[in-house]
Structure 1
């Protein structure tokens, strides 16, 4: 009988600890997974990453699409995304890629605008056996309102797939 009471007591303690306001690992993993778009990988400080300022406000990708799968360098945050041109042959330190209508960027913000008339540049700043990094800036114009959006202080890191 003492054994049964002890087991029930321990079970009650474990149950109350498990139902506390502390986030358990399974719930946290589910929250993280929900923030990541299908086919993407989580953005991390040492892996895939993209960040920029959009009209002066910080924007940090929570996930990225591997460029070999997308053919672009794409970072996502909630429903927003930034997509940059990508070619393995462009991954050379010092390479500058001019952004224009012919070499466009993708910008999707949760504001109902279709962004047109891009102007800016991408510069590759580091390439090694494992990753490539670059910086970027550009402006776009909303086709409806003609309001300009400025993307500044952009940075990305992609991991390179070895063939």
Structure 2
């Protein structure tokens, strides 16, 4: 089975004028991409604005309808739900669900709750997110890195920067 893969184009630059020519082409391509992306973003922004104007009144109406349904269900709870906690309707289901929230007692802060969890060794109530912070470790000495079985590797990586001309405005 053969696949139709386009072979990558290979370009060889032989001298400094060739480097300058390649960089000029890169600048032109990047400006073209920037223009296309800018045009795309303007189109997307315009579409978002139109959509927002059309959606806002619908969202407002949804809130009114939801509040009315909730009020009706609350006022008629005993009649609507004598045995079940929900009622099937033509266009959906209305009902009540048990939900549980945990709230602090009085003016207790979550930081105080965390400290109390630690004091009482209730570690299952503590969420931990851990990871290696390589950015922080970049400033460490090589000896310190070795203590945690890490090493530093430095390398030269090629870069280029296209000159950006300021219009002077």
Higher RCO structure, 1 or 2 (CA under 8 Å, sep 6+): 1
Structure with a larger share of its residues in helix = 2
TM over 0.5: no
The structure with the larger Rg is: 2
